[in-house]
């Protein structure tokens, strides 16, 4: 195993994470960006599955 390669993989992963953080942070300048999506978006996305979700047992959802 080449330790130099592992170092490059770690550095590339860190750079990707930093770039992703920068994009998300920069999007906040445009009316709040992705951080304004919130729970309402999730609720709207799950609305077509509401009937199926009501069948799930709250105490044991993995039946």
Question: Over its length of 63 residues, how does the chain's per-residue pLDDT go in tens digits?
Answer: 688 899 999 999 999 999 999 988 888 887 777 767 777 887 888 889 888 888 887 777 665
pTM above 0.75, yes or no: no
CA distance 40 to 10: 36
CA distance 10 to 52: 42
If you search the block for the tokens 């130099």, which residue do you land on?
4
């Amino acid at each position: 195993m080449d330790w130099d390669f592992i170092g490059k993989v770690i550095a590339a992963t860190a750079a990707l994470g930093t770039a992703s953080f920068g994009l998300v942070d920069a999007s906040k300048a445009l009316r709040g960006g992705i951080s304004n999506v919130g729970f309402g978006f999730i609720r709207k996305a799950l609305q077509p599955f509401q009937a199926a979700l009501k069948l799930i047992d709250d105490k044991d959802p993995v039946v």
